[in-house]
Structure 1
Amino acid sequence: MKGGGGGGPAKRRWRGLAFGVLFLVILSMLVPLGFLLGIHNGFHSSGFVPLQHNSPSGDRTRHVDNIVRKLGPTLPKDILKRFVHEAKNETSSTNATWKSQQKKGVPIPPQVVLQPFSNKTISKDSGKAVMKGGVDGSVGLCELKYGSYCIWREENREDMKDSTVKKLKDQLFVARAYFPSVAKMPAQNKLSRELKQNIQELEHVLSESTIDADLPPRIQKNSERMEAAIAGAKSVTVDCNNVDKKLRQIFDLTEDEANFHMKQSAFLYQLAVQTMPKSHHCLSMRLTVEFFRDDSFDKELTEKLSDPTLQHYVIFSSNVIASSVVINSTVMHAKESTNQVFHVLTDGQNYYAMKYWFLMNTFKGAVVQVLNIEQLILDYSDKTTLSHLNSPLEFRVSFHNSDNAPAMHNRTQYISIFSHSHYLLPELFKNLGKVVVLDDDVVVQQDLSTLWKLNMGQKVMGAVQICSVRLGQLESYFGDSSFNKDSCSWMSGLNVIDLVKWRELGISETYWKLVKKVSMKEESSVLASMLTFQDLIYTLDSEWIISGLGHDYGISLESIKKAAVLHYNGNMKPWLELGIHRYKVYWKKFLNRENKFLNECNVNP
């Protein structure tokens, strides 16, 4: 009795351990089973995201947006958000607005879109130019969303690679969709075996081959056998629920992937436009270091810098190479280059690099002055809210036609305009009466001395006007401001400015008041500039400057040769790899490619 009593607690402990082990075994079997059932019913694991065939387009868009947020490059949230959500917001809002305005008989105003990058880049792709490039109506609509990216995509489109592998993957997916239903039918055992065998063969091939070059020689026969098996499965009456679900999944997956890659490629295109190339960054750093190493350069002909009898050119730029090409092309075509003075206004980061470059190089006797505008702005902080250099801005104006019109009938126009920094000119150059402002993306092909002989009367500025965009077409953005609806917009790039009349009329003060008055922040610069200079523009002949070499593939070579100035306004600047190659030759010939710093930094636009 005593021995038996001692064994009782031990047996109970053994039984408790046995039950615990049994419970753990059952639990270890249930967890994987539950996980698999969860995947089958739509549970999201880290490696697979099921797509419901009946999900609305909004859910698919959110799915793509989530992927973009996870995989996209790290940029400020406002820039990333603008790219990722642009299509979704633009489509829903514009369609609703168009329909409501059409019912009321209200004319549809154009949509002004500020490009989401600070350095001036934009493109111009009119309906005519798009059709010349062979782009269909869908691309015309795409161009309204993404600007010149869509035109660049068509121009640089490549043939699809590894098409056989993609075809095999599609066949495998379709065969898997039909196989479960066919396998349940006893009368179709032969077809079921054929499908299973072909599925196994393709799975084996695709496990070892990712590109067409890796495929075995007899893959074409395998593909034909699979195609025949799929055709046999389609001819059999089966339960369509599973097949329908699988095929809808591949359709939704393909649609989402195409949408995602479209947005991602457009995002990367804009990123390439905004980002300074590595070689250019190297050049700027090398020049800055050399400036502080070499103290032998200390020469500036100060007597020429404020001489009003000379020809003074002003360039706003933070790009050493671009501003160098502008100056070099100008002096190369000048009859008397010794009478030319160039004032390059740059930021603090590139000031020393600019200064060293223009002290190291000569430009046929012309004088080049480099100014740090960030230091100069401190003297006018009470008048403006500027804190850094602002390069000329570029805007896209989209004219949406009726909702029933083809996308190719929509029209997009691009305009470049002065930035905030330009309105400091009268204060920065108090001793000068007239200056010519050149953008850093222009190339001069003729002598510009006749610009100094222009009699502009009571006008303040000479510029090329763009009458395809009039102020009346932008009236929805001007609020309660008074303006002449028939006034044309004007372009920066080449501008003759009478600083005397500018000061008399208080142009800068008028501009700053309008900037504060305009409620829409992004469009404030272009709208304020248009209102400030209305009826004060002296129209230059269109042959003085031709614009669009940074986005328009349809410009004729004859027009380029006749123009005095070429303006590379657009995303595809000539110093970028994205630049249009047929126009780059006019820019490259004014770049000193033998310079040792360009070679060391591998600068080769």
Structure 2
Amino acid sequence: MQHSTVHDFGKELRRVYLEEAEEGGHNKLDPRLVNAAPDSLDDLMSEMSSSSSYQHLDLRTLLLKTKAMLLKMDQKVQSARLRALIFQHLASTGIPKSMHCLSLRLAEQYLVNAAARSSLPPPEYASCLTDNSYIHIALITDNILAAAVMVSSTMTSAADPEKVVFHIITDKKTYTSMHAWFAIHPVFPAILELFPKLERVIFMHDDVVVQRDLTSLWYLDLHGLVMGAVSAQESDDEGSGDGLCLGKTFGDYINFSNPMLTTSPSSYNRESGFALWPMGSLPPALLAFHGQVLPLNRSWLLSGLGWQMPDPELLQSAAVIHFSGPGKPWLETGHPELRKIWQSQLNHSDELVSSCMVV
């Protein structure tokens, strides 16, 4: 096709496009036309060239078919992205076979090895469990390997490991394996037990690595508030408290126009399965402790490592790094460089770890 012919064709196509837009054609595509659209530009050209009207090309038809094809392609891309997110979520909640292996091996140790059933903590340290002069760190998890890394990294970073007490809460199916791990791998000179009443604890997620001593966090003055937490939202003024929660008002979490709010809370919760709460950052807890949370300096926690690679300076300076997001460090989906930080806290020569090919 000569240059002038191409130019004329392009000009005519733009004219038809503008006419179509003025008539609202962008919003009138029949879904059936989209479904029947060609899957590629080659298919489109082949279809148009085989048409009996090819000699008298209908530009409006070509335009509609092109738009339908592009829309069909866009729908496929969006569908693929959604599937990728779903698969990524499923991967993040799954447990690798190597970790199942470790749990089973530890359960076996609990049955056959008296050392794996030894008291946690040893009786001589029992008085430390409620001694508020110690730094008490609480962890709720059924992930043995993650718990081991959190404990190991905290001990490595601690200025005075002898003053650290770990309180691990787990479920029945994991208890024997969790007990066996820490009985066989004592955290001396720190103390561990599997949860007494205390005036204060430092709560940890299991997908974290501790990089700095937490003593000053333990003795932080909360100014009479119930808890301290790092803001979940960017804020230029860290001391203002703005951005403490992902949503700043009750309306961000409660639909006050919902007629179900006028019914009994207990009957609503029972019948709706707590459908009122949208997905977010623990909205029930945010509401329960509204106005009772002290914003902490961001250097205490760097989150989002399960989503993307953070700024290297922030990564190095953060006291605790949190692998929030689907890319957990014990999964292949985790970022390779970030997984190395987590894996550095594991004893690769440990017989149980190596035999289950955990790393």
Same fold, TM-score > 0.5, yes or no? yes
User: Is 1:520 aligned with 2:287?
Assistant: no
- Specify which of 110, 113, 119 is matched with residue 299 of structure 1: 119
User: Is 1:56 aligned with 2:31?
Assistant: yes
SS of 2:165's equivalent in the other structure is strand
The offset of 1:251, in angstroms, is: 5.4
Structure 2 match to 1:429:
196
Aligned amino acid, residue 477 of structure 1: Y
Alignment of 1:1-16 (within 5 A): none
User: Is 1:332 aligned with 2:156?
Assistant: yes
1:321–1:244 CA distance, 2 compared to 1 (3 A): same
**CA distance, structure 2, for counterparts of residue 259 and residue 581 of structure 1:** 27
1:357–1:447 CA distance, 2 compared to 1 (3 A): same
Please list the CA deviations of residues 15-37 of structure 1 after superposition, one character each: whole Å capped at 9, or x if unmatched.
xxxxxxxxxxxxxxxxxxxxxxx
Rg comparison, structure with higher value: 1
**CA distance, structure 2, for counterparts of residue 519 and residue 266 of structure 1:** 22
**CA distance, structure 2, for counterparts of residue 283 and residue 337 of structure 1:** 27
Structure 2 match to 1:539:
295
**CA distance, structure 2, for counterparts of residue 544 and residue 587 of structure 1:** 17
Alignment of 1:393-408 (within 5 A): none
The offset of 1:363, in angstroms, is: 2.3
Alignment of 1:183-202 (within 5 A): none
Alignment of 1:454-465 (within 5 A): 454-465=220-231
1:583–1:271 CA distance, 2 compared to 1 (3 A): same
**CA distance, structure 1, for counterparts of residue 41 and residue 138 of structure 2:** 60
Aligned amino acid, residue 50 of structure 2: F
Structure 1 match to 2:323:
568
SS of 1:314's equivalent in the other structure is strand
1:572–1:58 CA distance, 2 compared to 1 (3 A): farther
- Specify which of 330, 334, 344 is matched with residue 168 of structure 2: 344
- Specify which of 130, 140, 143 is matched with residue 319 of structure 1: 143
**CA distance, structure 2, for counterparts of residue 455 and residue 256 of structure 1:** 53
1:58–1:534 CA distance, 2 compared to 1 (3 A): farther
The offset of 1:528, in angstroms, is: 3.2
**CA distance, structure 1, for counterparts of residue 60 and residue 251 of structure 2:** 55
- Specify which of 133, 140, 163 is matched with residue 309 of structure 1: 133
**CA distance, structure 1, for counterparts of residue 66 and residue 289 of structure 2:** 60
Given the two structures, how large is their TM-score scaled by the length of structure 2? Answer: 0.71
SS of 1:262's equivalent in the other structure is helix
1:447–1:180 CA distance, 2 compared to 1 (3 A): closer
**CA distance, structure 1, for counterparts of residue 62 and residue 43 of structure 2:** 13
SS of 2:203's equivalent in the other structure is strand
Given the two structures, how large is their TM-score scaled by the length of structure 1? Answer: 0.44
Structure 2 match to 1:228:
none
Percentage of pairs with the same residue: 27
Structure 1 match to 2:239:
none
**CA distance, structure 1, for counterparts of residue 106 and residue 332 of structure 2:** 22
User: Is 1:587 aligned with 2:353?
Assistant: no
SS of 1:359's equivalent in the other structure is helix
1:348–1:245 CA distance, 2 compared to 1 (3 A): same
The offset of 1:344, in angstroms, is: 0.9
User: Is 1:277 aligned with 2:53?
Assistant: no
The offset of 1:316, in angstroms, is: 0.7
The offset of 1:572, in angstroms, is: 1.7
Please list the CA deviations of residues 25-53 of structure 1 after superposition, one character each: whole Å capped at 9, or x if unmatched.
xxxxxxxxxxxxxxxxxxxxxxxxxxxx9
1:174–1:324 CA distance, 2 compared to 1 (3 A): same
Structure 1 match to 2:189:
365
**CA distance, structure 2, for counterparts of residue 347 and residue 597 of structure 1:** 21
**CA distance, structure 1, for counterparts of residue 158 and residue 58 of structure 2:** 81
Structure 1 match to 2:260:
none
**CA distance, structure 2, for counterparts of residue 476 and residue 170 of structure 1:** 45
**CA distance, structure 1, for counterparts of residue 84 and residue 166 of structure 2:** 39
Give ranges in structure 2 of 5+ residues lacking alignment: 1-27, 233-241, 257-265
Aligned amino acid, residue 263 of structure 1: L
Structure 1 match to 2:209:
443
1:242–1:543 CA distance, 2 compared to 1 (3 A): closer
SS of 2:172's equivalent in the other structure is coil
**CA distance, structure 2, for counterparts of residue 573 and residue 548 of structure 1:** 10
Alignment of 1:234-245 (within 5 A): 236-237=55-56
**CA distance, structure 2, for counterparts of residue 55 and residue 316 of structure 1:** 53
SS of 2:179's equivalent in the other structure is helix
Please list the CA deviations of residues 352-372 of structure 1 after superposition, one character each: whole Å capped at 9, or x if unmatched.
2111111111324222223xx
1:354–1:470 CA distance, 2 compared to 1 (3 A): closer
Contact 2:301–2:321 (CA under 8 A) maintained in structure 1: yes
Please list the CA deviations of residues 370-390 of structure 1 after superposition, one character each: whole Å capped at 9, or x if unmatched.
3xxxxxxxxxxxxxxxxxxxx
Please list the CA deviations of residues 413-435 of structure 1 after superposition, one character each: whole Å capped at 9, or x if unmatched.
xxxxxxxxxxxxxxx522x2222
Contact 2:34–2:69 (CA under 8 A) maintained in structure 1: no
Contact 2:208–2:321 (CA under 8 A) maintained in structure 1: yes
CA-based RMSD of the aligned residues comes to 3.8
In terms of mean alpha carbon deviation, does 464-473 or 323-332 score higher?
464-473
Structure 1 match to 2:23:
none
Contact 1:462–1:540 (CA under 8 A) maintained in structure 2: yes
1:264–1:291 CA distance, 2 compared to 1 (3 A): same
**CA distance, structure 2, for counterparts of residue 460 and residue 579 of structure 1:** 34
Structure 2 match to 1:134:
none
Structure 1 match to 2:16:
none
Contact 1:177–1:242 (CA under 8 A) maintained in structure 2: no
Aligned amino acid, residue 448 of structure 1: L
SS of 2:328's equivalent in the other structure is coil
Aligned amino acid, residue 175 of structure 2: Y
Aligned amino acid, residue 337 of structure 2: R
Contact 2:229–2:294 (CA under 8 A) maintained in structure 1: yes
Structure 2 match to 1:175:
46
Contact 1:318–1:347 (CA under 8 A) maintained in structure 2: yes
The offset of 1:258, in angstroms, is: 3.2
**CA distance, structure 2, for counterparts of residue 456 and residue 244 of structure 1:** 65
SS of 1:566's equivalent in the other structure is strand
SS of 2:276's equivalent in the other structure is coil
Please list the CA deviations of residues 116-152 of structure 1 after superposition, one character each: whole Å capped at 9, or x if unmatched.
xxxxxxxxxxxxxxxxxxxxxxxxxxxxxxxxxxxxx
Alignment of 1:78-227 (within 5 A): 171=42, 174-175=45-46, 177-179=48-50, 181=52
Aligned pairs, how many? 304
**CA distance, structure 2, for counterparts of residue 307 and residue 545 of structure 1:** 26
User: Is 1:477 aligned with 2:253?
Assistant: yes
Contact 1:181–1:238 (CA under 8 A) maintained in structure 2: no
Structure 1 match to 2:353:
598
Contact 1:288–1:353 (CA under 8 A) maintained in structure 2: yes
Structure 2 match to 1:551:
307
Contact 1:181–1:242 (CA under 8 A) maintained in structure 2: no
